[in-house]
Amino acid sequence: MLRLVWLAFAAVALSAQAQQIPGVTARSIVIGQSTPLTGSNAELGNDIRNGALAYLQKVNDAGGVHGRRIELVTLDDGNAVPRAEANTKTLVEEQGVFALFGYPSATLSRPALPFVEKHRVPFLGPFTGADPMRVFNKHVYNMRASYADELEKIVDHFVPLGVKRFSIVYYDDVVGRENLTAVDRALKARGLTAVSHAAFKERAKPDIAAGVKEVAKGQPDVVILTTLYKATSDFIKLARSSGMGAQWASNSFPGASPLAKELGGKDGAGVIVATVVPPPTKRALPIVQEYQAAIEKQLGKKEWSFTSLESFIGAKVMVEALRRAGPKPTREAFMRELDNMKGYDAGGYIVGFGPNNHNGSSFVELTVIGRDLKFSY
């Protein structure tokens, strides 16, 4: 009888201990996310959510991590900064999630940083390559290359072909101006300067017609766009219909798959997009095979995208760190394991962190949209 009482007491004590760790119970670990499930960037937000859910479902179906299910709580921010900030406050201070994951842009991620730092919350895989989010923060872990890496790759692709006339389209805000600086830096290194620019002061309602007019003044051979997929698509369609014959290239910000769908086969054909993960159809890679099976189970259909693959990889890295943190996870132990994750092979895609380096990858590849909305490389 005494033994039974002691075991019951121990079980209660362990449960109480687990409850004291934010987001951790005896049966689950809760991860928080704010992303646009509705509004102007909904396709990107849903792709991010679905990619993470696909991997987490696979893990949970196999028994979870040390017997705990990994649950993702996603709040819709409609691509609005005030809502993203309010969502983070809810997730961290009211719901007490263990970590944050997969916010879809620097604009929506940056308001989370005060909560992250105040409560020492791990923040994994913000979907941005913007420089402001890549400044070292001991709580933030980037899984992907920077926009500067991507824009350098785009410029480096064209200059050896004799192209000298570049234009750039960007948002006139902190992140957008960083993209402008990155392109200007890449051009300057090759003795070039941009021939024209288009700067949008509003993300929600950019003046596409005015932007096309400004870019056309420079008679560019290549136009580099760094805007959301709807604005990028609208810009290319209007510019093409007005007779501009430039080559179009975009960084990964709009998402290659959402951009291709928005453009359609006629206007999308030939558009170059930088990507930060391998092609979601490249089955020679183990991670792609794993992803395709999991996302098909999640969605009930074969719908691959670069964005959901990136999120799938991010979720896999997160789960690996949770496994390494052991059966009694704390935020500190979790981040320590991330800091020790050097050269982790997710299945043909390498991610590595260090105590003073939280930028996990510099992988960049250029893809071309085809008339059938498929991609070539």
Instruction: State pLDDT tens for residues 276-322.
Output: 999 999 999 999 999 999 999 999 999 999 999 999 999 999 999 99
In angstroms, rounded to a whole number, what is the distance separating the alpha carbons of residues 279 and 288?
A: 8
Tell me the pairing of strands 247-250 and 272-275. Answer: parallel
Say if residue 300 is in the same domain as residue 357. Answer: yes
Domain at 199, CATH number: 3.40.50.2300
DSSP class of 161: G
Both tokens assigned to 183? 């392109």
Say if residue 27 is in the same domain as residue 125. Answer: yes
Whether residue 372 is contained in a domain is answered as no
Q: Is 143 exposed, middle or buried (0-12, 13-18, 19+ CB in 10 A)?
A: buried
Q: Tell me the percentage of the chain whose pLDDT exceeds 90.
A: 86
Say if residue 247 is in the same domain as residue 306. Answer: no
Residues near 327 by beta carbon (within 8 Å), at least 6 away in sequence:
66, 67
What is the length of the chain?
377
Say if residue 151 is in the same domain as residue 140. Answer: no
Residues spanned by the domain of 206:
147-251
Say if residue 291 is in the same domain as residue 223. Answer: no
Say if residue 34 is in the same domain as residue 122. Answer: yes
Residue ranges of the alpha helices (H) in 93-173?
106-109, 113-119, 147-158
**What values do phi and psi take at 51, rounded to 5?**
-60, -45
Segment (H or E) for 30: strand 28-35
Last residue of some domain: 235, 251, 267?
Answer: 251
Whether residue 67 is contained in a domain is answered as yes
Say if residue 132 is in the same domain as residue 180. Answer: no
Count structural domains, the chain.
Answer: 2
Whether residue 227 is contained in a domain is answered as yes
In angstroms, rounded to a whole number, what is the distance separating the alpha carbons of residues 55 and 330?
A: 22
Q: Tell me the percentage of the chain whose pLDDT exceeds 70.
A: 95
Whether residue 3 is contained in a domain is answered as no
Last residue of some domain: 228, 251, 274?
Answer: 251
Question: Is 90 exceeded by the pLDDT of residue 131?
Answer: no
Whether residue 277 is contained in a domain is answered as no
Residue ranges of the alpha helices (H) in 159-207?
174-188
Whether residue 14 is contained in a domain is answered as no
pLDDT of residue 272: 97
| Residue type, position 238, single letter | L
Say if residue 136 is in the same domain as residue 158. Answer: no
Note the pLDDT tens digit of each residue in 219-278: 999 999 999 999 999 999 999 999 999 999 999 998 898 899 999 988 999 999 999 999
Question: Is 90 exceeded by the pLDDT of residue 117?
Answer: yes
Quickly count: other Cβ atoms within 10 Å of residue 50's Cβ: 18
Closest CA to 107 of 89, 137, 133: 133
Last residue of some domain: 227, 251, 275?
Answer: 251
Say if residue 178 is in the same domain as residue 120. Answer: no
Say if residue 292 is in the same domain as residue 217. Answer: no
